[in-house]
């Protein structure tokens, strides 16, 4: 999906129907998360949470795998931001005491990000099909980097997990705001789960965490 296609469908994203097709959740016709990703999403959250009581902002509900895992760690607050109406409703139903915002994260008051202990960033971004590997992964990161990161304190951490389960993180202060210096994993071909070609392109789960 390139940016032209993405911006054309973005205003319909809220109302798109959802379906599971070939083991993949699709919003409209766009594949967003595979049923096979459950374990990885769990692993990701488990690696991040060393303790309970965190204030977590999660971007992108999808099949709710990461949300379920976050709940296991008894967060102090768990805000889920999900643009699609149907998926947001599922989240509201499943977590009646949680906060589910049915909107794009780009439209959320920045204070919500500034006050979080941990941000888990897993939305869908328009990606340029001419890019690959590290450049493509960086393109996925860019909106978060430009919009969310300035609201976080120096000393916050940013990182990601690839399909082999490797977690990599760096401190924001070491990167002096230059996205070009961010180290991004690309997943070795032998560990790419079958049917999940997007893992080939680098970190899929991105998080930001206060120290």
Ligand X SMILES: C[S@@+](CC[C@H](N)C(=O)[O-])C[C@H]1O[C@@H](n2cnc3c(N)ncnc32)[C@H](O)[C@@H]1O
Q: Could you list the residues that contact ligand X (CB under 6 A)?
A: 27, 32-33, 41, 59-66, 81-84, 87, 104-106, 122-124
* Residue among 2 and 173 whose Cβ is closer to ligand X: 2
Minimum Å gap between C-beta 187 and ligand X is 16
* Residue among 28 and 133 whose Cβ is closer to ligand X: 28
Distance CA 21, CA 31 (A): 9
Structure tokens at 82: 């999900």
Instruction: Give the number of other CB atoms < 10 A from CB of residue 69.
Output: 19
Note whether 9 and 28 are within 8 A (CB): yes
* Residue among 85 and 175 whose Cβ is closer to ligand X: 85
* Residue among 19 and 211 whose Cβ is closer to ligand X: 19
Minimum Å gap between C-beta 174 and ligand X is 27
Minimum Å gap between C-beta 64 and ligand X is 6
What are the angstrom distances between the C-alpha of 184 and each of 62, 175, 180, 181?
Answer: 23, 13, 10, 9
Structure tokens at 7: 């911006």
Minimum Å gap between C-beta 155 and ligand X is 26
């Amino acid at each position: 999906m390139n940016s032209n296609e993405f911006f054309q469908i973005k205003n319909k994203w809220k109302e798109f129907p959802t379906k599971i097709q070939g083991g993949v959740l699709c919003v409209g016709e766009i594949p967003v998360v595979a049923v096979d990703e459950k374990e990885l999403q769990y692993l990701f959250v488990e690696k991040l949470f060393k303790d309970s009581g965190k204030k977590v902002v999660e971007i992108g509900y999808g099949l709710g795998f990461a949300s379920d895992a976050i709940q296991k760690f008894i967060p102090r607050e768990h805000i889920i931001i999900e643009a699609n109406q149907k998926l947001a409703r599922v989240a509201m139903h499943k977590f009646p005491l949680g906060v589910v915002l049915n909107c794009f994260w780009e439209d959320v008051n920045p204070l919500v990000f500034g006050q979080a202990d941990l941000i888990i960033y897993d939305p869908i971004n328009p990606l340029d099909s001419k890019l690959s590997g590290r450049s493509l992964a960086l393109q996925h990161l860019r909106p978060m980097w430009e919009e969310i990161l300035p609201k976080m304190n120096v000393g916050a951490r940013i990182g990601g997990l690839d399909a082999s389960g490797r977690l990599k993180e760096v401190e924001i202060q070491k990167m002096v705001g230059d996205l070009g210096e961010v180290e991004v994993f690309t997943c070795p071909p032998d560990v790419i789960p079958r049917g999940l070609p997007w893992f080939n392109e680098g970190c899929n789960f991105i998080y930001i965490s206060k120290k």
